[in-house]
Amino acid sequence: MKIILVAEYRDGKLLASFNELMDFADKMGGENVMFLVGGDNDLPKYDGKLYLADAGTFGEYSPDVHKQLILDIVEKEQADMVAFCHSSYGWDLAPRVAFALKAAQVSEIVEIVDGVPVVPVCNAKLRRDVQIKTKRSVVTLQAGAFGLPEEPAGTPTIEKVEGDLAGRVQFTGYEQPESGGVDLGKARIVVSAGRGIGKPENVEMIANLAQALGGEYGASRPVVDSEWVEHNRQVGTTGQTVAPKLYVACGISGAIQHLAGMKKSEFIVAVNTDKDAPIGEAADVLVVADLKEFVPLLTEKIQSL
Ligand SMILES: Cc1cc2nc3c(=O)[nH]c(=O)nc-3n(C[C@H](O)[C@H](O)[C@H](O)COP(=O)(O)OP(=O)(O)OC[C@H]3O[C@@H](n4cnc5c(N)ncnc54)[C@H](O)[C@@H]3O)c2cc1C
């Protein structure tokens, strides 16, 4: 099995997610090479062959061009699999590469069990094992599902990719989300609201507990998507990454994308009516209770201290 790991570069910088690709490759076994459209200034710490295409020449985002570069390397390396992160870059490019290779595509892999990819279904309530039946395959990895336990180390052997390709899409730039307001990354205590809070009026309950503890409140994505809480308070892969001394997850199930943003917290308390909610595996303490009863009671107790 030979895998091409497609690393990413954004705004002149290598994204740390190359380390998730390396962990995936380790778990798959076999050989791997890395591909990056990037620059010499920021290279992955990777002990292997790196095909480096210059972002100045090929563009940071140019799907037609990057697809062709990857296809050329698949041919040259006689690779069996191409692995992307399940990011905006990966989910745009992966189907293009899979279609060109007539390869099976498996999206959002969260785990490898005995060499078989596992993907989430039913809004991540269930998991499905997927058997790949084509000679070649293209996969994307769920953000946060893989990652080396230690900082990666190594120096790649670089093979420069040259060429003269023109794409059909012109990349014009990135749009930064509005910043300002709270910086959850600096808070020592974060209390987060999940879909389990039930209605927007209950955000106040979570904010009150956060205030009583001297911390800030955050939220899971559905709460932000429903516009009950502003985006700069979202915790997870598409929000903020936090590592406070105490993280209190209220009505949050513990999806991988949420865990990826808070699992490095020093102490995690989860409040959930479901004793089997996956957040229980990450939590130091799981309080099996209705948050609407438990959170006001706890807040009152803390305020009376
Ligand atoms: C590409 C991508 C990126 C994503 N990025 C993020 C991200 O950055 N952050 C993020 O959070 N999610 C993200 N998600 C969404 C993620 O997959 C989950 O859907 C989401 O985290 C679920 O939010 P939740 O736990 O609040 O809701 P649910 O999964 O619906 O869980 C609600 C929980 O509340 C409990 N509950 C219900 N009522 C009560 C009650 N009265 N008292 C106590 N507990 C109760 C339930 O038992 C359940 O466990 C992303 C998804 C994708 C595909």
* Calpha distance 222→252 (Å, rounded): 10
| pLDDT number for residue 214 | 96
Is 275 a residue whose pLDDT tops 70? yes
Name which residue leads in pLDDT, 183 or 156: 156
CB-based contact 132:115 (threshold 8 Å)? no
Sequence length of the chain is 305
Is 279 a residue whose pLDDT tops 70? yes
Is 225 a residue whose pLDDT tops 70? yes
Q: Give distance in angstroms: CA of 85 to centre of ligand 1.
A: 21
Q: What percent of the chain has pLDDT over 90?
A: 82
* Calpha distance 7→93 (Å, rounded): 12
* Calpha distance 138→132 (Å, rounded): 10
Q: Which atom of ligand 1 is nearest to the CA of 254?
A: 25
**Minimal-distance CA residue to ligand 1 atom 11:** 220
pTM score, whole prediction: 0.79
Q: List phi, psi (to 5°) of 19.
A: -70, -30
Domains in the chain, please, with CATH? 2-161 (3.40.50.620), 184-303 (3.40.50.1220)
Q: Which atom of ligand 1 is nearest to the CA of 274?
A: 47
Q: Give distance in angstroms: CA of 231 to centre of ligand 1.
A: 15
Q: Which atom of ligand 1 is nearest to the CA of 238?
A: 8
The predicted model gives 286-290 an average pLDDT of 98
Ranking 150-164, 176-190, 199-213 by mean pLDDT, the lowest is: 176-190
pLDDT band of residue 175 (cuts 50, 70, 90) is confident
Q: Which residues' Cβ are closer than 6 Å to ligand 1?
A: 124, 194-196, 220-222, 234-239, 251-253, 255, 257-258, 261, 271-274, 277, 290-292
The predicted model gives 245-261 an average pLDDT of 95
pLDDT (tens digit per residue) in 115-143 = 999 998 887 778 899 999 999 999 999 98
Positive/negative CA dihedral, 279, 285, 286, 287: negative
Tally Cβ neighbours within 10 Å of residue 277.
Answer: 21
Angle between helices 63-77 and 88-101 (to 10 degrees): 50
